[in-house]
Structure 1
Amino acid sequence: MEVTGKIKMIDQTKEVGSAGFKKRDVVVTTDEQYPQSILVQFVQDKCDLLNSFQVGDAVKIDINLRGREWINPQGEAVYFNTIQGWRIGKAESAVPAGQAPPAPAAAAFPPATSLNEDEPDDLPF
C-alpha cells in the first residue's frame, strides 16, 4: 500500500520505553477531492529515512497497516491501528499544463482511408 501527498509535518525521533524503541512521525496531506492528513510512523532504523525530506515536499510513502490489542486495567480489550512507513521517495510530479509538450499537428497523421468496396462489410450495425 502507499500514501502520496505533500509533507505537512515531520516530528523529531523519539525514544519510547526502556528498551530504546525509536519512532518518528510524519503527516502527509493527500492531493484528492477531499484531502486527508495522514499520520505515518517510521520506527527503529527507518526513522533516518526522513532526514532528507522537509515540509512541502511531494512524497510517496510505502506503508503497512499494523494493529494490536491491549487489555486495559479493567480487563477490557482495546484495539489500536498504526500506519507504518517503510520506504519514502519523492513523488513523480505531473507536468504543469503550460509546460506540456505540444500536440502534433493534424498533418502529422496519415489520412483515414475509405472502405475498400471489394471487402465485405461484416459489422452488425
Structure 2
Amino acid sequence: MEVQGKIKLVGETQTFGNNGFRKREVVVTTEEQYPQHIMVEFVQDKCDLLNNFQVGQQVKININLRGREWTNPQGEVKYFNSIQGWRIEAVQDGASGPGTPPVPPAEAFEPANDLKEDEHDDLPF
C-alpha cells in the first residue's frame, strides 16, 4: 500500500524503553477533494529514511497497516492500529513520471502552412 501527498510535519526521532526502540513520525497531507492528514511512523533503522525530507515536499510512502490487541488492567480488550512506513521517495510535481520524456514547448512546433483546401478525400469522418 502507499500514501502520497505533501509533507506537513517531520518529527524528531524518539527512543523508548531499555532496549532502545526508536520511532519517528511524519504527517502527510493528501491532495484530494477532502484532504487527509495521515500520520505515518517509521521505526528502528527506518527512522533515518526521513533525514533527507522537509516540510512542503511531495512524497510517496510505502506503508504497512499494523494492528494489535491489548487487555487493560480492568480486563477490557482494546485494539490499536498504526500505519508503518518502510520506504519514502520524492515525487515530482507534474504529470510526467519516471521514464516519460518531457513535452517540448509549443514554440518548438511549426504551424502547417502548406495545406490546400481542395485536397481532401471523401471519407465520412
CA distance in 2, matches of 1:113, 1:24: 68
Q: Measured at CA, do residues 100 and 9 of structure 1 come closer, stay the same or move farther in structure 2, by a change above 3 Å?
A: farther
Quote the offset at 1:94 in angstroms.
Answer: 1.0
User: Over aligned residues, Cα RMSD in angstroms?
Assistant: 2.5
Structure 2 unpaired stretches of 5+: 96-102, 113-119
Counting only pairs closer than 5 Å after superposition, residues 18-97 of structure 1 correspond to structure 2 as 18-94=18-94
CA distance in 2 between counterparts of 1:101 and 1:13 reads: 44
Deviation at 1:72, TM superposition (A): 0.3
Corresponding residue for residue 5 of structure 2: 5
Structure 1 unmatched runs, 5+: 116-125
Inter-partner Cα distance in structure 2 for 1:113 and 1:85: 60
Which residue pairs with 1:114 in the alignment? 123
DSSP 3-state at the match of 1:25: strand
Per the alignment, in what secondary structure is the counterpart of residue 4 of structure 1? strand
Write the letter of the residue equivalent to 1:114: L
The whole-number CA distance in structure 2 between the counterparts of 1:77 and 1:85 is: 26
Q: Distance in 2 between matches of 1:112 and 1:71?
A: 80
Q: TM-score, length-normalised on structure 1?
A: 0.77
Query: What's the TM-score, normalizing by structure 2?
Result: 0.77
What's the CA shift string for 1:85-120, capped at 9, x where partnerless?
00000013215xxx9844x7895xxx88727xxxxx
Q: Return the alpha-carbon distance in structure 1 between the equivalents of residues 122 and 26 of structure 2.
A: 58
